[in-house]
Amino acid sequence: MDINVLKTTAQAMVAPSKGILAADESTKTIQKRLEKIGVQSNPETNLAYRQMLFTTLGVEEFISGVILYDETIRQSIDGQPVPQYLQSKGILPGIKVDKGAVDMANFPGEKITEGLDGLRDRLAEYKELGAKFAKWRAVIAIGAGIPSDTCIESNAESLAQYAVLCQEQDIVPIVEPEVLMDGGHDLARCQEVTKKTLKAVFAKLTAHKAILEGMILKPNMVISGKESTVKAIASEIAKATVETFKEVVPAEVPGIVFLSGGQSPDEATENLAEINKIGGPWQLSYSYGRALQDEALTTWVGKEESVPTAQQAFYDRAQKVSQARSIKSV
- Specify which residues 285 forms β-bridges with: 257
Active site residue 32: no
Contact indicator for 56, 21 with CB cutoff of 8 Å: no
Burial class (CB in 10 A: 0-12, 13-18, 19+), 93: buried
Sign for the pseudo-dihedral over CA of 207, 160, 279, 228: negative
Active site residue 218: yes
Catalytic residue among 96, 218, 277, 320: 218
The span from the CA of 6 to the CA of 210, in Å, is: 11
* Residue whose C-alpha is closest to residue 133's, from 159, 83, 95: 95
Contact indicator for 270, 221 with CB cutoff of 8 Å: no
**What does the chain come to in residues?**
330
Contact indicator for 225, 172 with CB cutoff of 8 Å: no
* Residue whose C-alpha is closest to residue 67's, from 325, 276, 259, 261: 259
Catalytic residue among 176, 178, 270, 274: 176
Annotated active-site positions, please? 176, 218
